[in-house]
Amino acid sequence: MNEPILKTENLCHVYSAGTPFELTAVKDVNIEIYKGEILGVIGHTGSGKSTLIQHLNALIKPTSGAVLLDGRDINASKDSVRQARSRVGLVFQYPEYQLFEETVYKDIAFGPKNMKLSEAEIDERVRISAQFVGVEEELLDRSPFELSGGQKRRVAIAGVIAMMPEVLVLDEPMAGLDPGGRESIMENILTYHKKTGAAIVIVTHSMEEAARHAGRMVVLNHGTVAMDGTPEEIFSRGEELRSMGLATPVMTDLSERLAALGVKLPRTVYTVEQMTRALLELERGCRDAS
Amino acid sequence: MLRDITLGQYFPGNTVVHRLDPRTKILLVVLYIAALFTANSWASYGVVVVFLAAAMAISKIKLRVMLKGMKPLIFVIVLTAGLNLFYTRGEVLAQWWIFTVTREGIRSAVFMAGRIILLVMGTFMLTYTTSPIMLTYGLELLLSPLKKLKVPVHELAMMMSMALRLIPTLIEETDKIMSAQKARGAQFDTGNLLEKARAMLPILIPLFLSSFRRADELATAMEARCYHGGEGRTRLRVLRFELRDFAALGLGLSVLAAVIVIKRFSL
C-alpha cells in the first residue's frame, strides 16, 4: 500500500496530569490513515475516540508521541499547526451548534476566509461545498438559524468541506438524525470522498454504519487500539467486540446463531446484501449436492 | 485549558464543621466578620485567629489550600497594606522621597492586611465546607422573613443554585465551540483589540443560543414535573437545628463578646 497521509506514533494523552483528577485518555496509539480510504473508528463512550481525533489536526497536543502529516510532525511549528488545521478537516459531534453567521453563505465561507483565500476562490468553494452536502443555492442567503435540524447539520459539514481537506474526520456525523437524514448525509460524504479522493475517518459507535462503508476499521478500548483491520477480520471476532461493550451488526449476530444451529455460511457476513448472497450461495450448494 | 479552572470550591468531607446546619455556618460567618471588624488590638486579633484556626483544624481544611485560593487577592492586599503604610500620620521612622513610614503606619498596615486575609479565609471556610445546594438552602431559610416584604426569596435562591449548576456546563460548552471554530481555522490570539473582540463572535453567538435553548428546555422539564414556585414545596432533607448548632453559635457569640470586652477595656 502507499504511504499513509496521516499517522500517529505512540500517541499518549493525559488530562489534568499531576492532580487527583488525572486521566489517561489515549495510550500508545499507532494508527495510519491512507489516501483515499474510508476508515471507521469505533469504541464505546469514553474509549478515547474524541481525544484521539482532536489530535489529528493539532487541537490537542499529545502528552507524548507524535502525529505525522506526510511524515512531518504537525506540532512542530505554528505554521505546521495551521497547515494541519486546513488539510485535516474535523467535524465535531452536533456541528449545527457551531453556526454563528447571519447567512448560510457567510458561515460556510468562515473556514476558507481564515485560510486567506481570494474572494473568487471563497465564492467557488462555498458553492461547491454547498452542492456536496445538498444545500440548495437559494438557501445560501437565508439565516442558518431558520433551517431545520438536518439542513443545519449539512451547512455545518459544508463549512468544513469548504476548506477542501485531504482528510475529513467526522465525529458521529449522523447522530440524532432520522433514518432518511442519516442515509442522505452519508451519501453526501461518500460523494465528497469519490470526487476528491480525500481520506474519510468516521467515528461512530454504530457497527452497522461502519460495516457498510468503511474499508478498514480501528476499534478503541480504554484508550488503546484493540483491533485494526478489515471489517471481515474485525467482525469475525464478535465475542471480543461484545466483551468491550460494542454491539456487533445484526447480520453478524444472525450468522453466529445460524452457525450455532449447524448452518455454516461460506464467509464472514455483516451486511444484509452479503447475507442474501451467502444464503443464496448456500442454497445453490445444497441443490448441487442433492 | 478552561476545564482546569476550579470552581465552586466545595471540599467534601464528613467533619463536624461539614455537618453543621448551613444556617449556623452562615450566622457564624456573620459573627466572625463582626468580631473581625471590632478587633483593633493584638489580643483581639488573637482571639479571632484562634477561632479560625480551630475551625480549620476540625474541618481538616489545609492552610496551603486556603493560601492558594487567596492568590487572586494578593494585589488588593498589597495595595491596602501599602496605602496604610505610607499614608498614616504619626511618629516618623523612615523617610525617602515622598514616602514616609510611621510607627502607626506599620501597625495599621499589618492590621488592615490581616483583616482582609482573615475575612477571606473565614468566608472560604463557609464555601469549602458547605455544598452549594446547602448554601442556597440555608440562605433561603435565613432570608425567608423578607417574604413578608414581597421579596421573592425562593425564586432568588433557585436562580442562584441553577447558576451554580450551569457554570461547569457552560465551561464545557465554550471549550467545545472553541475547538470547533479552531478546526475551521479561527484564531483567538492574534491582531489588535478590535480584531480579538471580533474573533470572539463565533464563540459567543453559539454559546448564547445554546444557553437560551438550555434554559428553555430546563424550564419545560421543571414545569413537566409540576414546579410552580416555592409555595407548598417540600424538601427531601429538612434542616433542623441540632445540639451542635447551638453549641457552635454559642461559641461564635462568645468570640464576638470577648473581642468587644477586650476593646471596651482596652486590654
pLDDT per residue as tens digits for the range B150-187: 888 888 888 888 887 788 888 888 989 999 999 998 88
pLDDT band with cut points at 50, 70 and 90 for residue A1: low
pLDDT reading at A15 higher than 70: yes
Q: Which of A91, A105, A203 minimizes the C-alpha distance to A157?
A: A91
- Determine whether the interchain pair B202/A95 forms a contact, defined as Cβ–Cβ distance below 8 Å: no
Distance CA B48, CA B46 (A): 5
What percent of chain B is predicted at pLDDT more than 70? Answer: 96
pLDDT score for A202: 93
Read out DSSP for A4-44? EEEEEEEEEEEETTTSTT-EEEEEEE--EEETT-EEEEE--
Type of residue found at A130: A
Distance CA A65, CA A12 (A): 6
Contact B76, B84 (CB under 8 A): no
H or E stretch covering A91: strand A88-91
- Tell me which of A50, A81, A98 to substitute to probe the interface with B (most B C-beta atoms closer than 10 Å): A98
Q: Residues 6 or more apart from A194 whose CB is under 8 A from it?
A: none
Distance CA A218, CA A216 (A): 7
Contact A236, A249 (CB under 8 A): no
Nearest chain A residue to B201 by CA distance is A100
Q: How many CA atoms lie within 13 A of B167 on its CB side?
A: 13
Q: φ, ψ for residue A40 (rounded to 5)?
A: -100, 130
Residue range B15-37: mean pLDDT, rounded: 93
Inter-chain Cβ pairs, chain A and chain B, closer than 8 A:
52
Read out DSSP for B195-212? HHHHHTHHHHHHHHHHHH
User: At CB < 8 Å, which residues of chain A contact B?
Assistant: 16, 54, 57, 59, 82, 85-86, 89-90, 92, 95, 97-100, 110-111, 114-115, 145, 159-160, 163
pLDDT score for A56: 93
Distance CA A261, CA A258 (A): 5
Distance CA A48, CA A122 (A): 35
pLDDT score for B23: 93
Its pTM stands at 0.75
pLDDT reading at A183 higher than 90: no
pLDDT band with cut points at 50, 70 and 90 for residue A39: very high
Residue range A36-49: mean pLDDT, rounded: 89
Cell 486575609 sits at which residue? B117
Lowest mean per-residue pLDDT among A161-170, A243-252, B3-12, B98-107: B3-12
pLDDT reading at B7 higher than 60: no
Q: Identify which of B181, B185, B187 has the shortest CB distance to residue A163.
A: B185
Chain B residues within an 8 Å CB radius of A82: 185
Q: Identify which of A97, A115, A159 has the shortest CB distance to residue B210.
A: A97
pLDDT reading at B6 higher than 50: no
Nearest chain A residue to B204 by CA distance is A100
Mean pLDDT of chain B: 86
Chain B residues within an 8 Å CB radius of A85: 182-185
- Tell me which of A15, A102, A114 to substitute to probe the interface with B (most B C-beta atoms closer than 10 Å): A114
Distance CA A173, CA A201 (A): 11
For residue A114, the distance in angstroms to the closest alpha carbon of chain B comes to: 5
Distance linking the first and last C-alpha atoms of chain B = 52
What 3-state class would DSSP assign to B73? helix
Read out DSSP for B80-148? HHHHHHHS--SSEEEEETTEEEEHHHHHHHHHHHHHHHHHHHHHHHHHHHS-HHHHHHHHHHHHGGGGG
- Determine whether the interchain pair A89/B183 forms a contact, defined as Cβ–Cβ distance below 8 Å: yes
Residue B195 CB neighbour total at 10 angstroms? 11
ipTM for the predicted complex: 0.84
pLDDT score for B3: 46
pLDDT reading at B47 higher than 50: yes
Q: Identify which of B4, B185, B206 has the shortest CB distance to residue A98.
A: B206
Mean pLDDT of chain A: 88
Residue range B245-254: mean pLDDT, rounded: 93
Q: Identify which of A59, A99, A115 has the shortest CB distance to residue B183.
A: A59
Residues in chain A: 290
